[in-house]
Chain A
Amino acid sequence: MNYWQKDEETMSIDEIKQLQLERLQSVLYRAYENVSFYKKKFNESNLSPDDCRKLSDISKFPFTYKNDLRDNYPYGMFAVPLRDIVRIHSSSGTTGKPTVVGYTKNDLENWKDLVARIMVAGGVSKNDIVHIAFTYGLFTGGFGLHYAAEHIGASVIPVSSGNTKRQIMIMQDYRSSVLVSTPSYALHIAETLEKLNLTKNDIHLKYALLGSEPWGEKIREEVEKKLGVIATDNYGLSEVMGPGVSGECIYKNGLHINEDHFYVEIIDPETGEVLPEGEKGELVITTLTREAMPLIRYRTRDITRLYRDNCPCGRRLIKMDKPSGRTDDMVIVNGVNVFPTQIEEVLKQFDETTPHYMVFLKKKGKLDMLEIDIEMTENLFFDEMKKQKEILEMVTERMFNVLGIKPKIKFVEPKSIERFEGKAKRIVDLRDE
């Protein structure tokens, strides 16, 4: 069985708990001393890092929310001087403030190792040719996997996203053996392959490491069958580092969490109470080793379950299920995170539209489609078609800028969209149908 960091990945529970406690106590001190946000927050709750005497004491400490990162834009959450930061990633955040994450040299070294663990667990070795079809740029996905694959010693092809036919040509000619992409893009590749009258025997893929959006066994089956790969899931979020938080091994039953670097809890999203191991709830992560930007009890909004088993791969790290949903209204479209609030922000900028809208998520082939129905104002409704078309184009353009994906927008008659009493349900997901 292959490991990247065998000692860490196969540690006994006693060892891991001691290591977690040591690192947790230190990260609390560092966050308290170096991040004024945490100093203030701890002081307000009458807490000092000294109050963490055992692992479970972490439950006394306050949560960190995504909004806290926005409020401290850009560098307020950093615990080191800017000159110690060697990389900055960020969310797109065209509406409101984006969230910024920084990495020190040691953070990048750790990041490489943690993603490398997951890649090795998913079957990758130094003999592989890794085809990375994630978008590069500010997103953490592309770079995270890229550097880890190089770290392992594999050959990396940074194809990035788009132009699927060319991607398939590269796979054929350059003999890519590992595909790194979103699950929906993997399906899209499979479909394009069929259209080109090609099969899995015409390409050389062996493994696929898929992530950045939720997916199920049905998709896995199809990807594995059509691309001739072993497909594994991996999980991460840019706020705590990026990919490398957890990942499946080739036994594909649960994601091993790199718990020597991330302390995980499951909470009841309503009450904030910590739930016992095995129960379903929201995943909360405390970074244990991060220097640039330690996060204490970060609310991931992802719903999952934690458990330990005797995985045949020999790893002893705690496992999580594939996230089964969100505690907020975020949806993921082709790997891009979309919040309804972003759509509302855009609508605010146009006088010709009302804030009444509906979002429909559909499938166009294997790829996701985002459709937005927006109510026009009476004025625009009676205006000429040309004007309507102009506005439609402007709204579409603006949405594209804000969301990062191009939605299909339809104007509908005034008062034709359902009015909600209480919590609005504006998102209709038709992708599974």
Chain B
Amino acid sequence: MLKVTSLSVNYGFVNAIRNVSVHIKKGEFVALIGSNGAGKTTLLNSIMGLVPKKDGEIIFKETDISKNPPHSRISYGISLVPEGRRIFPNMTVMENVEMGGYSKKRSEVVSKMDEIFHFFPILQERRTQLAGMLSGGEQQMLAIARALISSPDLLLMDEPSMGLAPLVVKEVYEKLSMLKNMGLTIFLVEQNAMAALKYADRGYVIENGRIIMQGKSDELISDNEIKRAYLGKEYKEKWER
């Protein structure tokens, strides 16, 4: 569904990501893990069109979208749940969800909204409350709901576990798992490697803007290299020659 080849993004003279190649097949749940500042968000923002690329290709459903503006990428069927959720606290839950569908027809939004509230009963209960009154976990659900209203084929998520209690992280990931089982393709980036890899099918590991490893989730979980990348530790106690 999504194929990124040798993508590079610079912020001024700084290489944010270099030669990043990843692919996500239809129906897959793929996680990109790495420590702070490794380039995870840059990759998502670049797929979404929020930051310009320097080099490389972003092919979505056989089309190179790397020159399209963000709003047209949404109409291709990509949707992003940004880092820190970014909900509108002074609007109601329902208004927040509607905001995600501003490019769609009213009738489509209404019918999709029923479906989404059915999937997130907690939001249904609080549909008239101000979003700022929700708990962190509920806000994350709301952010996902807002992304789903445009009926995307590919859901991008930035750090879904950020700032959430472990139990709530589990709840969020279980919802994502259910969405995957309903046919949604998911690509998320996450510092919380263990949580992400527990639910994802495959994973990529990013370090200093480069993908240094990839594989099935269970392979990555057992890998010491991952612990190193994830913890940002540089332990290189090689056998002394």
- Give chain A's interface residues, CB within 8 Å of chain B: 15, 18-19, 21-23, 25-26, 29-30, 33-34, 49-50, 52-54, 75-76, 78, 80-84, 104-106, 109, 289, 291
Contact B241 A76 (CB under 8 A): yes
Contact B237 A21 (CB under 8 A): no
For the A-B complex with A15-B23, A18-B23 known, give 14 more contacts whose Cβ atoms are closer than 8 Å.
A22-B211, A25-B6, A25-B210, A26-B213, A26-B214, A29-B212, A30-B212, A75-B238, A78-B238, A105-B222, A106-B215, A106-B222, A106-B223, A289-B215
* CA of A25 to CA of B213, assembled, Å: 9
Contact A49 B225 (CB under 8 A): no
Contact A23 B214 (CB under 8 A): yes
* Chain B residues whose CB sits within 8 angstroms of the CB of A21 once the complex forms: 5-6, 21
Contact A81 B214 (CB under 8 A): no
Contact A19 B23 (CB under 8 A): yes
* CA of A291 to CA of B238, assembled, Å: 14
Contact B223 A54 (CB under 8 A): no
* CA of A321 to CA of B6, assembled, Å: 32
* Chain A residues whose CB sits within 8 angstroms of the CB of B241 once the complex forms: 75-76
* Chain A residues whose CB sits within 8 angstroms of the CB of B19 once the complex forms: 25, 49-50, 52-53
Contact A81 B210 (CB under 8 A): no
Q: Is B22 an interface residue (CB 8 A)?
A: yes
* CA of A75 to CA of B239, assembled, Å: 7
Instruction: Report the interface size for chain B: residues with CB under 8 A from the other chain.
Output: 29
Which among B212, B237, B239 is the interface contact of A33 at CB below 8 angstroms?
B212
Residue among B21, B235, B236 with max Cβ neighbours from chain A (10 Å): B21
Closest to B205 in A: A26
* Chain A residues whose CB sits within 8 angstroms of the CB of B235 once the complex forms: 81
* Chain B residues whose CB sits within 8 angstroms of the CB of A81 once the complex forms: 224, 235-239
User: Please, could you name 18 A-B residue pairs with CB atoms under 8 Å apart, sorted by A?
Assistant: A22-B22, A25-B21, A25-B210, A26-B211, A29-B210, A30-B212, A30-B213, A34-B236, A49-B210, A50-B18, A50-B210, A52-B19, A75-B239, A81-B224, A81-B235, A81-B236, A82-B238, A106-B219
Contact A291 B225 (CB under 8 A): yes
* CA of A21 to CA of B57, assembled, Å: 13
* Chain A residues whose CB sits within 8 angstroms of the CB of B3 once the complex forms: 18
* Chain A residues whose CB sits within 8 angstroms of the CB of B215 once the complex forms: 106, 289
Separation in Å of the B189 CB from the closest CB of chain A? Answer: 16
Residue among B6, B55, B222 with max Cβ neighbours from chain A (10 Å): B6
Separation in Å of the B4 CB from the closest CB of chain A? Answer: 9
Separation in Å of the B162 CB from the closest CB of chain A? Answer: 26
* CA of A25 to CA of B23, assembled, Å: 14
Which among A25, A84, A289 is the interface contact of B211 at CB below 8 angstroms?
A25
Contact B213 A18 (CB under 8 A): no
* Chain B residues whose CB sits within 8 angstroms of the CB of A50 once the complex forms: 18-19, 210
Closest to B207 in A: A29
* CA of A65 to CA of B6, assembled, Å: 28
Closest CB pairs A-B (n = 7): A82-B239, A53-B6, A22-B21, A75-B239, A29-B212, A29-B210, A18-B23
* CA of A83 to CA of B224, assembled, Å: 10
Separation in Å of the A130 CB from the closest CB of chain B? Answer: 26
Separation in Å of the B132 CB from the closest CB of chain A? Answer: 41
* CA of A289 to CA of B215, assembled, Å: 9
Contact A18 B223 (CB under 8 A): no
Mark out the residues of chain B between 173 and 228 whose CB falls within 8 Å of any chain A CB in the assembled complex.
204, 207, 210-215, 219, 222-225
Closest to A109 in B: B219
* Chain B residues whose CB sits within 8 angstroms of the CB of A104 once the complex forms: 223
- B74-95 vs A, Cβ < 8 Å mask (1 yes, 0 no): 0000000000000000000000
* CA of A33 to CA of B212, assembled, Å: 10
* Chain B residues whose CB sits within 8 angstroms of the CB of A106 once the complex forms: 215, 219, 222-223
Separation in Å of the A83 CB from the closest CB of chain B? Answer: 8
Contact A26 B212 (CB under 8 A): yes
Mark out the residues of chain B between 20 and 49 whose CB falls within 8 Å of any chain A CB in the assembled complex.
21-23
Closest to B209 in A: A50
Contact A291 B223 (CB under 8 A): yes
Residue among A21, A82, A104, A106 with max Cβ neighbours from chain B (10 Å): A106
Separation in Å of the B80 CB from the closest CB of chain A? Answer: 22
* CA of A21 to CA of B4, assembled, Å: 11
* CA of A21 to CA of B3, assembled, Å: 11
Contact B6 A54 (CB under 8 A): yes
* Chain B residues whose CB sits within 8 angstroms of the CB of A49 once the complex forms: 19, 210
